[in-house]
Amino acid sequence: MYSDETERQKALRYSRTKEWLAVADMIFGTAVMLLALTTGLSARLRSAAERIAPPRLGTVMPFAAAGMILSSLISLPMSFYSGYVVEHRFGLSNQSMRSWFVDWFKGLGVASVLGAPLLQGAFWVIGRYPRRWWAVLSGLVLPFSVLLANLAPVLLMPLFNTFEPLKDQGLEKRIKDLAAGEGVNISSVLQMDMSRQTKKANAFFTGVGNTKRIVLGDTLLDEFTPDEVEVVLAHELGHQVHRDLWKLISLQMPLTIGLFYAMQRLVPPIIGRFGECWGLRAEEGVRDPAALPLAGLIGTGMSRTVAPAVNAIVRRWVEHPADRYALELTGKTGPFISAMEKLGRMNLADPNPPRLIKWLFHNHPTLQERVEYARRFAAQRGV
Ligand SMILES: [Zn+2]
């Protein structure tokens, strides 16, 4: 994939740097939550929210918004180093510092505006159903995930990038013909100004219902041949045909139920044991918003634990079938292989990462596996 050894070394350095930063970020985030909880900072913030916030607004929303803003500010240096400094050092960023900060600010705004009212709603459910809240909330997560998946492409993503119909209409006709031949009605295909932020290339399938769409980065369109774009499109079409977003949402369901149930079982005894030193209200249990960092610790702990399994499921039952679909639909193994190699070079990807890294971070088969699969496919089918 890398004909040039210096370029290969650079890709390996970039990959390892980003992975170490991701691990450091996890440790740091855990430490921040642990400290907020055990130093009584969380309890003090909750009491301040109670004093300051108008009673009609309640305590949860202002507490949650303040907590999110504080923790984002604490991790800002790390986010800046990983998202701006490292990206520039490896020549992958197209963004000015100002534009990076504007995006960071927007991200925080979106998280607070969406997250704080959602948490307020969750606490209302907890207060209303003190024993069965975990089941009620789990039931509500499904419609909310579907709603969010539906709205994100039209409400959230356009805050960061511009989406427009493919400029190359020949290309659009090509994939529509391809899909029509299979009896598939393709969702809209859009291009996005990914080059506003990065030199990396990407394509993805997003949205559910009337907002589902295939999105191609302009960076990819600039560098890929029409045949290469076609196999990438066919991979994304595979996600549409296989209804993969629904698969991912249903994969999320048992995890959500397990998570809420664990919180219901674990938080009250922990508060009973340590709550007093941390300034938590034992009699309120999970209903005390100051216990949110504890819930957060249990939540991140559990999701990190299941992440390798989730990644493996997605690699095997979502991403690999989309590759197979792309090859079966187009029969273009050569362009598939060159597209993968180009994607790897543009994104400074490690084609063959150590197994531990694959387990922890990759929800796609490694580039080497994808290329090897295409070679086997070509050998078997004689294409
Ligand atoms: Zn995919």
Which pLDDT value is given to residue 285? Answer: 86
| pLDDT at 382 exceeding the cut of 80 | no
One-letter amino acid at 237 equals L
User: Which residues have a beta carbon within 5 Å of ligand 1, which is an ion?
Assistant: 319, 322
Q: Indicate the DSSP class of residue 159.
A: G
CB 226 within 8 A of CB 201: no
Q: Give dist(CA 350, CA 21) in Å, integer.
A: 16
Measured in angstroms, how far is the CA atom of residue 8 from the centroid of ligand 1?
24
Ligand 1 centroid vs 319 CA: distance in angstroms?
Answer: 5
C-alpha to C-alpha distance for 5 and 97, rounded to whole angstroms: 31
| Centre of ligand 1 from the C-alpha of residue 218, in Å | 18
C-alpha of residue 13 to centroid of ligand 1, in Å: 25
**Amino acid sitting at position 370:** R
Distance of CA 328 from the midpoint of ligand 1 (Å): 15
Length of the chain as a residue count: 383
Once rounded to an integer, what is the mean pLDDT over residues 282-290?
90
pLDDT band, very low/low/confident/very high, at 273 (cuts 50, 70, 90): very high
pLDDT in tens, 53-110: 888 888 999 999 999 999 999 999 999 999 999 999 999 999 999 999 999 999 999 9
d(CA 34, CA 42): 10
Long-range contacts of 268-275 (CB under 8 A, 24+ apart): 270/294, 274/38
| Cα(345) to centroid(ligand 1), Å | 18
- Give the tokens for residue 339: 């597209």
Q: What's the DSSP call for residue 4?
A: S
pLDDT of residue 1: 80
pLDDT above 90: residue 369: yes
- Ligand 1 centre to CA of 358 (Å) is 16
Please, are residues 199 and 93 in contact by the beta-carbon 8 Å criterion?
Answer: yes
Q: What is the pLDDT of residues 194-237, one digit of tens each?
A: 999 999 999 999 998 889 899 999 999 999 999 999 999 999 99
pLDDT band at 177 (very low <50, low <70, confident <90, very high): confident
Q: What is the DSSP letter of 196?
A: G
> What is the reported pLDDT for 226?
92
242 pLDDT higher than 90: yes
What percentage of the chain carries pLDDT values higher than 70? Answer: 100
Give the C-alpha separation, 196 to 167, whole Å: 17
CA of 33 to the centre of ligand 1 (A): 33
DSSP character at residue 285: G
In the chain, the amino acid numbered 31 is: A
94-121 residue pLDDT tens: 999 999 999 999 999 999 999 999 999 9
Per residue in 335-365, is it b (16+ CB within 10 Å) or e — as a string? bbbbbbbbbbbbbbbbbebeeeebebbbebb
Q: Is the pLDDT of residue 46 over 90?
A: yes
**Max Cα distance, the chain (Å):** 73
Instruction: Report which of 261, 290, 309 is spatially closest to residue 141, judged by C-alpha positions.
Output: 261
Q: What φ, ψ does residue 205 adopt, rounded to 5°?
A: -110, 135
**In the predicted structure, residue 36 carries a pLDDT above the cut 80:** yes
Distance CA 232, CA 236 (A): 6
Q: What is the mean pLDDT of residues 289-297?
A: 95
- Is a pLDDT exceeding 80 seen at residue 183? no
| Separation of CA 189 from chain center | 21
- Cα-atom radius of gyration of the chain, to the nearest Å? 23
C-alpha 308 to ligand 1 mean position (Å): 18
CA of 246 to the centre of ligand 1 (A): 14
- Alpha carbon of 234 to ligand 1 centroid (Å): 10
pLDDT in tens, 204-213: 999 988 898 9
Report the separation in Å between the CA atom of 235 and the middle of ligand 1, taken as the mean of its atom positions.
6
pLDDT score, position 9: 95
Mean pLDDT of the chain, nearest integer: 94
Pairing of strands 163-165, 188-192: antiparallel
In the chain, alpha helices (H): 5-38, 41-52, 60-74, 76-80, 86-89, 97-128, 133-151, 169-181, 218-223, 226-241, 244-278, 292-314, 320-330, 333-346, 355-361, 367-381
CA atoms within 13 A on the CB side of 173: 3
How much is the pLDDT for 264? 92
Q: Which residue has the tokens 């301040």?
A: 48
Compute the Cα dihedral for 369, 372, 374, 380 and give only its sign. Answer: negative
The phi and psi torsions of 168 (rounded to 5 degrees) equal -80, 100
- Grade residue 255 by pLDDT with cuts at 50, 70 and 90: very high
15 alpha carbon to ligand 1 midpoint, in Å?
A: 20
Mean pLDDT of 305-324: 97
| Stretch among 178-182, 259-263, 358-362 having the lowest mean pLDDT | 178-182
Distance 353 CA to ligand 1 centre (A): 19
pLDDT for residue 356 = 95
* pLDDT value at 307 more than 70: yes
Cβ within 8 Å of residue 274, ≥6 positions away = 38, 280
Give the separation between CA 165 and CA 215, rounded to whole angstroms. Answer: 9
Q: What is the pLDDT of residue 39?
A: 97
Query: Band of the pLDDT at 188, cuts 50, 70, 90?
Result: confident
Instruction: Give the Cα separation of 31 and 157 in Å (integer).
Output: 31
Identify the pLDDT of residue 383.
67
Ligand 1 centre distance from Cα of residue 277 (Å): 48
pLDDT of res. 28? 96
pLDDT above 80 (res 280): yes
Report the alpha-carbon distance of residue 130 to residue 120 in Å, rounded: 15
- Over residues 7-26, mean pLDDT: 96
- Å from CA of 232 to ligand 1 middle: 9
> Measured in angstroms, how far is the CA atom of residue 238 from the centroid of ligand 1?
8
Instruction: Using the predicted structure, report yes or no on whether residue 322 has a pLDDT greater than 90.
Output: yes
Element (H, E) at 214: strand 213-217
Q: Which residues on adjacent β-strands are paired with residue 205?
A: 214
From the CA of 239, how far away is ligand 1's center (Å)? 7
User: What pLDDT is stored for residue 179 in this prediction?
Assistant: 78
Are residues 276 and 282 in contact, defined by beta-carbon separation less than 8 angstroms?
yes
